[in-house]
Amino acid sequence: MEIKQMPPKEIMMKAFLERDPEFDGVFVAGIKTTGIFCRSVCGAKKPKKENIEFFPDPRTALLHGYRPCKVCRPLETAGTPPEWLAPLMVELEQNPGERIKDQDVRDMGIEPARVRRWFKQHHGVTFQAYQRLLRLGYAFGQIRQGRSVTDAALDSGYESLSGFGEAFRRNAGRPPKNAKSGEIITVTRIPSPLGPMLAGAFQGKLCLLEFMDRRMLETQLDVLASRTGASIFPGEDPVFLQTSKELSEYFAGKRKSFSIPLYSPGTEFQQKVWKVLMGIPYGSTCSYGEQAEILGNPKAVRAVARANGENRIAVIIPCHRVIGADGKLTGYGGGLWRKNALLAVERGERVFSQ
């Protein structure tokens, strides 16, 4: 999967304001004041320039908390949906936080396998994965940058923080399980050249950093909530600013180690595996077998690989530096294309345009 490059901002701004059809499908524009995103040709009234930001595709806009415009229908830019798919697209548009199951699709007279193929071909993900992105984007769309969780709840029309938490539970598709400690895990989006990441903070430390389209993301949230006894809410935390800054320096090739305080609860074995990961030098790689040897258990290769996959703090706890015994890339939850890009950054290659 290639990293899509966008035109310079001034060119996209001109194209959007002039409704230039030549840029339809090249980018989408997010409108901060309304929370929607549009195609370049959208006929709706144009906002002020300072309220516009650009994304390479609808998928990324969804992950940043925007919902599709009902005027220009940007979800259709990757390929106009055929007539047979229309009922499902209408349902997605009207109820972005709803979880649509295969049986629901069948009830519309549509074969789920056919839907999966269409979404995979035109949006690069399966329909279920696309729904996860839509739910997460919709949930995070209720939070504006700079507001506290309480302010966001009240500004959104909720009478209490618990009411907002229930709304987040419905939209994100998971409950804040085992919330018995009164603690809160704060989560937010952090942009990166490889796609938006979900960051989590607990007691002033980073406890989660993962790409938002990772399949196991909701499971990771559940594990964190279970291990901490904390509720999960969107919001801000000082550690996010440090994380964003150090990640930017890393992707620019200007940082080889991180100083971010981490909190990564796990079993005794997982902790040992993650400690070994932290010991792999920048720009180097290690095989799963070598990892097992360091742990003093050469036969535990599969267990080591599984523990690597359960790492919840990508990039900083560098599981991307572990490769197969034959030197080939294998086993990365964020996708092998991202693993390849991260290793290229550490080899000093120019991966992203500055």
- pLDDT, one tens digit per residue, over 35-69 is 889 998 898 889 999 999 998 888 778 767 788 88
Higher pLDDT among residues 127 and 103, named by residue:
103
User: What was the pLDDT predicted at 294?
Assistant: 94
Closest CA to 306 of 205, 216, 228, 197: 216
Convert the pLDDT of each residue in 117-165 to its tens digit.
887 766 656 787 777 656 555 545 545 444 455 554 444 444 555 555 5
What is the predicted pLDDT for the residue at 147?
45
Mean pLDDT across the chain: 80
Pick the CATH number of 266-346 from 1.10.10.10, 3.30.470.30, 3.40.50.880, 3.30.565.10: 1.10.10.10
The residue extents of the domains of the chain are 1-76, 149-249, 266-346
| Residue 353 binned pLDDT confidence (cut-offs 50, 70, 90) | low
Rounded mean pLDDT, 294-309: 92
The answer, as to whether pTM is greater than 0.85, is no
Strands, DSSP E only, in 193-265? Answer: 197-202, 205-211, 231-234
d(CA 308, CA 106): 38
**pLDDT reading at 8 higher than 60:** yes
Rg (CA), the chain: 21
Residues with Cβ within 8 Å of 223's Cβ and at least 6 positions away in sequence, in order, are 312
Looking at the domain that runs over 1-76, which CATH code has it been given? 3.40.10.10
pLDDT beyond 80 at 232: no
- Each residue's pLDDT tens digit, 250-272: 999 999 999 999 999 999 999 99
CA 210, CA 63: separation in Å to the nearest integer?
Answer: 13
pLDDT score at 161: 55
| 319 belongs to the catalytic site | yes
Given CA atoms 333, 335, 339, 341 in this order, what sign does their dihedral have?
negative
pLDDT band with cut points at 50, 70 and 90 for residue 185: confident
Among the residues of 6-126, which ranges form H helices? 9-17, 58-63, 86-94, 102-107, 112-123
